[in-house]
Amino acid sequence: QCSLVCPTGALVEKDDTEKVLDALQDPKKHVIVQVAPSVRVSLGDAFGMEPGAIVTGQMVTALHLLGFDKVFDTNFGADLTIMEEGTEFLDRLQHGGVLPMMTSCCPGWVSYVEKHYSDCLPHLSSTKSPMSIFGAVAKTYYPKAAGIDPKDIVTVSVMPCTAKKFEAARPEMGREGRQDVDIVLTTRELIKLIKYVGLSFGQLPETDFDSPLGTASGAGAIFGTTGGVMEAALRTVCDKLTGKTLERLDFQEARGFQGIKECTLEIGGHTLHIAIAHTLKNAEILMEQVRKGISPYDFIEVMACPGGCIGGGGQPVGTTNAVKKKRMQALYEIDRNLPVRKSHENPVLQVLYRDFLGEPGQGKAHELLHTSYNAVPKEYRF
């Protein structure tokens, strides 16, 4: 089912709201939903709230009223991504692996590398995105813990992103013939569903995410903005490199809207050269250095959309730079107000590794939480 999104009808947007409604009406299905970090600071725009309003509690209530059995947090998946990506980076740094390592949580960016820089694929982190990591846990650990047949679980994700629909459908992102994420809705599609059932969003009471997969750190929260993935990773990497619990939480060097940000950090006897880019135009500048073997960096973050996911293609129409700034500030506010702000200190994540995943980057954790990439032949590029 497609809905028209341009006045001439020349462009259409994939609409999966009916699939979600069908799943919610099937009494045999246990339907769970995860929500990306940036959705909670953009959803309010559609209901007359100030740009950047933090509507986490109302959003969770709305999802329960829509009929979801459990409402979980992609930020928990982001914490897992940091555990795996941080471990992978340290391994590459300390054992002569391929550097610079590049983040891989943005499907627009991954697809760009697969198409235009396939010679550089070994630079991409093999760690799955927060959405796909969450999906893998939701279809393995969660049914076991909840005593539900994995076949009866439907996983829905609400994303700021149209490209996440493509990521969820990749054959690598599933097991035993089933995808880890069954349906992806954009922020716009969630708005449509909330309006369809006639909820007065602004009047809804606030509720918390469900447990166990709804507990996340502040590091997970800032994934929604350019620089957020790098800052979250540095909080964990710096602790691991020094073997200490560092007091430093904020990495101002990673914040702001500059197209390319760079910094050098002296940590635990290592000098780390970092770069962060948003938009593929800026990423291209960094990629030409990587391709020529002259990149001065150890770790690079790229997000394809301007500002990162706060400016994603699935967000409410009419997102200006001023609106993105408000959303960015809101994500940092969520981070500041959380009791745990480093991914590796998330207590639920620690239990998950202890009881189910084992050591980060090894065994079951590697099997479920990592992926691989494919060069796209020239004839299939557009």
For ligand SF4, the closer CB: 78 or 163: 163
Q: Cβ(298)–Cβ(101) under 8 Å?
A: yes
Select 102 or 106, whichever has its Cβ closest to ligand SF4. Answer: 106
When the beta carbons of 112 and 299 are compared against ligand SF4, the nearer one is 112
**With contacts defined by CB under 6 A, how many residues of the chain interact with ligand SF4?**
14
Decide: residue 363, CB within 10 A, 0-12 exposed, 13-18 middle, 19+ buried.
exposed
- Asked if 106 touches ligand SF4 (CB under 6 A), the answer is yes
Q: Which residues are catalytic?
A: 85, 88, 105, 125, 164, 167, 172, 309
CB 132 within 8 A of CB 181: yes
* Residue 222 makes contact with ligand SF4 by CB under 6 A: no
Least separation in angstroms between residue 226's CB and ligand SF4 is 8
3-class DSSP state for residue 127? strand
**Measured from the CB atom, is 223 or 251 closer to ligand SF4?**
223
Three-state SS at 29: coil
* Position with the least CB separation from ligand SF4: 312
Nearest to ligand SF4 of 38, 236 (CB atom): 38
The C-alpha atoms of residue 135 and residue 130 are separated, in whole angstroms, by 8
* DSSP 3-state percent helix, strand, coil across the chain (nearest 5): 50, 15, 35
Nearest partner of 36 among 182, 138, 156, judged by Cα: 156
The H or E element spanning position 86 is: helix 74-94
Q: Which is nearer to ligand SF4, 303 or 368 (CB)?
A: 303
DSSP labels, 289-334: HHHHT----SEEEEESSTTSGGG-TTSPS---HHHHHHHHHHHHHH
163 lines the binding site for ligand SF4 (CB under 6 A): yes
Question: Is residue 276 involved in binding ligand SF4 (CB under 6 A)?
Answer: no
> Counting contacts by CB under 6 A, is residue 39 touching ligand SF4?
no
227 part of the interface to ligand SF4, by CB under 6 A: no
- In the complex, what is the shortest distance from the CB of residue 137 to ligand SF4, in angstroms, rounded to a whole number? 19
**Distances in Å between the alpha carbon of 45 and those of 201, 251, 318?**
11, 29, 10
In whole angstroms, how close is the CB of 316 to ligand SF4 at the nearest point? 13
Give SS3 for 189.
helix
The minimum distance between CB 176 and ligand SF4, in angstroms, equals: 27
Q: Work out whether 309 is an interface residue with ligand SF4 (CB under 6 A).
A: yes
For residue 224, the minimal CB distance to ligand SF4 (Å) is: 8
150: phi then psi, degrees, rounded to nearest 5: -55, -25
303 binds ligand SF4 (CB under 6 A): yes
Please state the closest distance from residue 186 (CB atom) to ligand SF4, in A.
Answer: 9
Please tell me whether residue 308 binds ligand SF4 under the rule CB under 6 A: yes
Q: How many CB atoms lie within 10 A of CB 14?
A: 13
Residues that bind ligand SF4 (CB under 6 A): 106-108, 160-161, 163-164, 303-305, 308-309, 312-313
